[in-house]
Amino acid sequence: MTRQAKVTSKGQITIPLDIRRKLGVRAGDQVIFEATDDQVTVRPASKESVFEKWRGIGTPGIGKGRAAVLRWTREMRGR
């Protein structure tokens, strides 16, 4: 899929609708431009950590966040 966009005097472009849909981006979302020697690619910026869905999978009973981990560690150490 190849599309063309015009660059404004402020350096802005409008991403064509079919490209936005393919990328899954909407107004207010961020995109990342990656440049190599001979081309530039555009991809959506990750909205959350790729590891977020796996958080806590190996540690049932421990809450999320630093405070919960420190509390659990103190309990395990008997403090």
Give residues with Cβ within 8 angstroms of 26, minimum separation 6.
20
pLDDT of residue 56: 67
pTM of the model: 0.54
Residue 59 pLDDT > 80, yes or no?
A: no
Average pLDDT over every residue of 17-40: 92
* Angle made by CA atoms 8, 22, 41, in degrees to the nearest 5: 55
Average pLDDT over every residue of 38-57: 81
* Euclidean distance between CA atoms 13 and 30, whole angstroms: 13
**Token code pair at residue 52:** 């977020």
* Secondary structure element (H or E) that encloses residue 40, with its range: strand 40-44
CATH class for the region spanning 1-46 = mainly beta
Each residue of 2-23: pLDDT tens digit? Answer: 899 999 999 999 999 999 999 9
Coil/strand/helix, residue 52: helix
**Token code pair at residue 4:** 């063309």
What residue segments make up the domains of the chain, in order of their start?
1-46
